[in-house]
Homo-oligomer: A and B are copies of this chain.
Amino acid sequence: MAEEISRERADYLAEAFCSEFVDFCRIRPGTIRRGYLESSLEVGPIHLQQDGVVHAGVISTMADHSAGYATFTVIPEDFQLLTVEYKINFFRPVRGEMLLCRSRVVKEGMRILVAESEVYERMEGEEAFAAKATVTLTAVYKEKMPESLRSAAE
């Protein structure tokens, strides 16, 4: 129904995706199309907690960030997004070599948008469902950002 995003927009979003903290966490964008985004992460020692399992904070960052960028594909280019809240369920301790995240917009709008992220771990060629998040966002006109951020959030 809605048209696909342009190649330029997809490239712009893929680049903007890799901000400081996300780069630091080594989360990489993959397939991106209107209302959908995939990302991946190669698990390394920095992602672990004391018991050798991937820290929930890594999985959460991936789920939240990917949901946000999936949502960027359905709003006008002169709008910015703010995460209002999210909820994430963890299904298993993650010890795999790779994490994959698939994010989909489930509710479009301007005031309130909702996306879901499913995180899978890949180990020895098998995928296992590791976590699922529901993310609520709000879109803010970019020119108004400093002020709007304030009025939106205060």
Contacts and interface: CB of A to CB of B under 8 A. Distances in A.
A57 B21 contact: yes
A21 B149 contact: no
Given A45-B20, A51-B80, A25 B90 contact: no
A123 interface: no
A79 to B, nearest CB: 13
A151 B110 contact: yes
A31 to B, nearest CB: 21
A34 interface: no
Contacts of A24: 24, 46
Given A19-B48, A61-B55, A152 B111 contact: yes
A49 B64 contact: no
Contacts of A136: 84-85, 89, 136
Nearest to A65: B57
A153 B21 contact: no
B21 A58 contact: yes
Interface string A113-150: 01000000000000001001010101000000100010
B82 A90 contact: yes
Given A61-B61, A84-B84, A112-B138, 9 more contacts: A19-B55, A21-B48, A55-B61, A56-B61, A56-B83, A58-B61, A60-B61, A93-B149, A110-B151
